[in-house]
Amino acid sequence: MSSVQIRDVRKSFGNFEVLHGVSIPIEDGQFVVLVGPSGCGKSTLLRMLAGLENITSGTISIGDRVVNNVQPKERDIAMVFQNYALYPHMTVAENMGFSLKLRNAGSDEISKRVKRAAEILALTPLLDRYPRQLSGGQRQRVAMGRAIVRDPQVFLFDEPLSNLDAKLRVAMRTEIKELHQRLKTTTVYVTHDQIEAMTMADKIVVMHDGIVEQMGTPLELYDKPENQFVAGFIGSPAMNFLKGHIRVNGVATFEGPNGVKLPLKSAPAASDGKPVVYGVRPEHFTIADDGADAEIVVVEPTGSETQVFAKVGGEQVVAVFRERHQFNPGDKVKLKPDPDVIHLFDEATGKRL
Ligand code: ATP
């Protein structure tokens, strides 16, 4: 196992810079998830870690070794891709042992390692099958098995679950997490799915347009997003944003679209009149007599909770209630954000206030 240090890494393809100085410290044994919208540069960064792309500037170290000029096969990492093509003419055991065979490992050593990986991944009864005789989830486990047998210092995963159906994705997510708890191998995992990031990561790195917007534990990012981008990206359904101004007149309030007034616990010094974006997570609305006027648009009960779309000051917001309400479209209700947990962002810079 090893720590990984990414220091001020830049990447250009021709004249086009896609990573603009990215620094990410990764501790030994940490499970780090790189997340961000399509094109933000997360796969490129992972490929640079793997040695499949060169580094335009900056350094990447694995353990205490700078690996910028180290060949992929010398880096002691194993990568699991989205397209985990297994060799169709090889059994599960042969697929799993193949990389060791290429490295001239002895057949006893190969069979010992394959057996151990198969036990960890519950693949033992399937070792003699061919890929075509496996389900999608089993194939994905074989792909992970190929990585595990190598006992690398670092695992790299590039959207390994995106070809699986929703139910299997959730199950595999848990398996990968369990696997990590067991092996404690330093892991860098790329996804554009923020739920995957939230549920799996020790540390999430939110990327956007070739920079790191924020990194932290899932709950740090959820509770204290440093800017509006992270606030909108982490959380599902997404945080509601309303544009308006701070009003300080004895007490501080937020004055939103069409004069709607929403509570503030406090306001930054001398902020009367400041243009801001008011952020409320859907679960932080309650129904209260002193709430803002709202009109229900759509009600979506899921059994465990109810998702309600409503208009506040003419803007659509989404609220999630754990308790059951008998709402109908067109109903007038009073919605109140919990002032203790609202988020304020500078309208011009998007930074958290
Ligand atoms: P996705 O979630 O869609 O895979 P991503 O965040 O992984 O996106 P990258 O694949 O890293 O994004 O791509 C980052 C940027 O670099 C994109 O603008 C992409 O078009 C560009 N890019 C990637 N590979 C190359 C290449 N070989 N040549 C030129 N541009 C590239």
pLDDT grade, residue 122 (50/70/90)? confident
Q: Is pLDDT of 1 > 70?
A: no
> Could you tell me the pLDDT band of residue 53, with boundaries at 50, 70 and 90?
very high
At 44 the pLDDT is 96
The protein residue whose alpha carbon is closest to atom 9 in ligand 1 is 41
One-letter-per-residue 3-state SS of 31-70: EEEEECCCCCCHHHHHHHHHCCCCCCEEEEEECCEECCCC
Ligand 1 pocket, residue 87 CB under 6 Å: no
- The single-letter code of the amino acid at 207 is M
* pLDDT single digits (tens) 271-314: 889 999 999 999 999 999 999 999 999 999 988 999 999 999 99
Which of 8-17, 21-30, 258-267, 276-285 comes out lowest in average pLDDT?
Answer: 258-267
Report whether pLDDT(215) > 90. yes
Q: How far is the CA of 274 from the centre of ligand 1 (A)?
A: 38
**What are the structural domains, with CATH classification, of the chain?**
4-224 (3.40.50.300), 240-346 (2.40.50.140)
What's the CA gap between 111 and 93, in Å, rounded? 8
Residue-wise pLDDT tens digits, 153-202: 999 999 988 877 888 788 888 888 988 999 899 999 999 888 999 999 99
ipTM comes to: 0.95
* Rounded CA separation 175/187 (Å): 14
pLDDT-derived band at 269, boundaries 50, 70, 90: confident
- Are the CB atoms for 118 and 145 separated by under 8 Å? yes
Cα of 159 from ligand 1 centre, angstroms: 14
Residue 270: which pLDDT band, with cuts at 50, 70 and 90? confident
- Ligand 1 atom nearest the C-alpha of 40 is 6
Task: Measure 39 CA to ligand 1 centroid, in angstroms.
Answer: 5
Its sign, for the CA torsion 107, 2, 75, 169, is positive
In the DSSP assignment, the letter for residue 351 is B
Residue 217: pLDDT over 80:
yes
Q: How far is the CA of 42 from the centre of ligand 1 (A)?
A: 8
Angle made by CA atoms 171, 175, 178, in degrees to the nearest 5: 140
Q: Torsions phi, psi of 96, nearest 5?
A: -70, -35
Q: How far is the centre of ligand 1, averaged over its atoms, from the C-alpha of 289 (Å)?
A: 50
CB of 37 closer than 6 angstroms to any ligand 1 atom: no
Query: Is residue 162 in contact with ligand 1, taking CB distance under 6 Å?
Result: no
251 exposure class (CB count in 10 Å sphere: 0-12, 13-18, 19+): exposed
Ligand 1 atom closest to Cα of residue 210: 14
pLDDT band for 47, please (50, 70, 90 cuts). Answer: very high
Q: How far is the CA of 70 from the centre of ligand 1 (A)?
A: 22
Q: Taking residues 54-69, what's their average pLDDT?
A: 96
Q: Identify the sign of the CA torsion 102, 178, 27, 208.
A: positive
Of 267 and 347, the structure prediction assigns the larger pLDDT to 347
Q: What pLDDT does residue 240 have?
A: 98
Query: Is ligand 1 within 6 A of the CB of residue 18?
Result: yes
13 lines ligand 1 (CB under 6 A): yes
CB of residue 39 inside a 6 A radius of ligand 1: yes
> pLDDT digit string (tens) for 232-262?
999 999 999 999 999 998 888 999 999 999 9
Q: Is 170 in the pocket of ligand 1 (CB under 6 A)?
A: no
- Nearest to 306, CA basis, from 293, 280, 328, 325: 325
- pLDDT at 171 (0 to 100): 84
Q: Name the pTM for this structure.
A: 0.91
